[in-house]
Chain A
């Protein structure tokens, strides 16, 4: 017993480094020779380490408890804890999800709003087409309303209405929009060289907005028509162009077919993406092969570049109204256009002789 106590004292001194060098060497020799002593040393060390760890942790905990007492935990809890309100909690926990949802809803609202806007515009198209069907001339129909006679070569009366027309026969039949001439008693046509011819209105079709004029001068004659009539379907997106007289010089407009129907699904007409101005009404609409595919008659008042043209197949009725023996070199829907192999720019120079400015007086 006494030896045991002595031994433990020595082990403790040894572990704490309190033995002298000679004593330590002797003790280490003893450890080497006696495994039981060595075991006791190791076990004692492990135990003392645990005890020290325990002591330091306990000390740390006490200090932390002390520090903890200085914190106003209740106040902090109120500030940091979950909010009693369910909604605030939900907001805190799902901030990002709510943000995503909100932006999605916003996007949806914007989309719906823009669709509604489009719907509103459709409403105004309808109004416009109603007016058209009554055939009151308005800003949307492309008649050039000429206020003064300064530019006119006919000084007798001021020119009231202007538009465009094109030859459908080599002996002076000219096709234009009905609304261009509807309010005029006297109509003249002027070619690109500035020659003026008086015409009779020989055919009126308010429904299809088509009129046919005949140059009274019996000596008037053109070469055979370079273009032909295309009554078949024209593909969406096909390039088209028109020639017209929005001013005293002929003006070329180029665009493409944007819809197979016109105002509010009007199947009589095409919709085009093509910039036109008042004065283009009645102008021929041609495709890249030089076929007449329609007549420009209106544009949409709120959207730039949305233009409408009466489809060529509705010209057939108008054409058949002309007595067969009086028409010479009429426009063909069978023969291939002479222009089909030409570049559009070359076609224009050939066509412009067959496009006329219409001048209406009343």
Chain B
């Protein structure tokens, strides 16, 4: 069974290069390649498909951040890294739900990844904070901020999109929105 699973898995080099180049194809290959491994782990350890999806996506994010931060060395197999990270994340979740975490059924080798997971948790908190702040910001501020800072639209484009009479008005609006968002973000 495990042979069958690994046959569709991209090579570790392929993945690292793909991540650094923001290749969507590489992400797809990576994602579909290792998902069954994590699904198997979660299903056999008190989880369901949704848990598997959440944990696996967090694991991939950890991997992405690790690779992008540049200090990812292929000291272990990618498969082992992903498995270990997801395993750690899932065990923490189980502990939070105060479900039993002893007698874990393992399917792969496990390596120490505590530091990476802890860093990820910190980032995840930032992510949640930002999401929360944006949610409370309300329209049209949310879209203006997203368009400007995330989708990298120019002030001119935003001005046209929202029907402001001139870019100064748009800038003022954006400034106000950002001030509010900052307040929400740093307060929470």
Contacts and interface: CB of A to CB of B under 8 A. Distances in A.
Interface in A28-87: 43, 47-48, 50-55, 57-58, 60-61, 63-64, 66-68, 70-71, 73-74, 76-77, 79-82
Given A55-B150, A57-B123, A61-B61, 17 more contacts: A5-B175, A8-B175, A53-B126, A54-B130, A60-B27, A63-B24, A64-B27, A64-B31, A64-B57, A64-B60, A66-B28, A67-B31, A68-B31, A68-B57, A80-B40, A82-B44, A92-B105
A61 B53 CA distance: 11
B118 interface: no
A70 B32 contact: yes
B91 to A, nearest CB: 17
Interface in B1-53: 1, 24, 27-28, 31-32, 35-36, 39-40, 43-44, 49, 52-53
B127 A54 contact: yes
Contacts of B32: 67, 70-71
A274 B171 CA distance: 113
A9 interface: yes
Contacts of A51: 130, 145, 149-150
Contact of B39 (A63, A80, A92): A80
Contacts of A21: none
A4 interface: yes
Nearest to A61: B57
Nearest to A83: B44
Contacts of A58: 150
B44 A60 contact: no
Interface in A237-284: none
Contact of B149 (A55, A71, A76, A79): A55
A66 B28 CA distance: 8
Nearest to A73: B49
A136 interface: no
A102 B51 CA distance: 36
A57 B182 contact: no
Nearest to B178: A8
Contact of A57 (B28, B127, B145): B127
Interface of B: 1, 24, 27-28, 31-32, 35-36, 39-40, 43-44, 49, 52-53, 57, 60-61, 64, 105, 123, 126-127, 129-131, 145-146, 149-150, 171-172, 175, 178, 182, 185-186
Contact of A54 (B27, B36, B126, B175): B126
A287 B44 CA distance: 72
Contact of A77 (B24, B43, B105, B146): B43
Contacts of A8: 175, 178
Interface string A180-222: 0000000000000000000000000000000000000000000
B49 A77 contact: yes
Contact of B182 (A4, A47, A54): A47
A43 B183 CA distance: 11
Contacts of B53: 68, 73
A93 interface: yes
B5 to A, nearest CB: 9
A53 to B, nearest CB: 6
Nearest to B124: A57
Nearest to B45: A82
Contact of A47 (B1, B44, B131, B185): B185
Contacts of A81: 39-40, 43-44
A4 B57 CA distance: 40
B158 to A, nearest CB: 14
A43 to B, nearest CB: 8
Most B CB contacts (10 A, CB to CB) among A8, A43, A67 go to A67
Contact of A67 (B28, B44, B178): B28
A68 B35 contact: yes
Contacts of A52: 149-150
A73 B127 contact: no
A104 to B, nearest CB: 22
Contacts of B61: 57, 60-61
23 contacts: A5-B172, A5-B175, A8-B175, A47-B185, A47-B186, A50-B126, A50-B130, A52-B149, A52-B150, A53-B130, A55-B146, A55-B150, A57-B127, A63-B28, A64-B57, A67-B28, A68-B57, A70-B32, A73-B49, A76-B39, A77-B49, A81-B40, A92-B105
Contacts of B36: 76, 80
A127 B126 CA distance: 90
Contacts of B35: 68, 71, 76
A5 B171 contact: yes
Nearest to B129: A50
Contacts of B186: 47
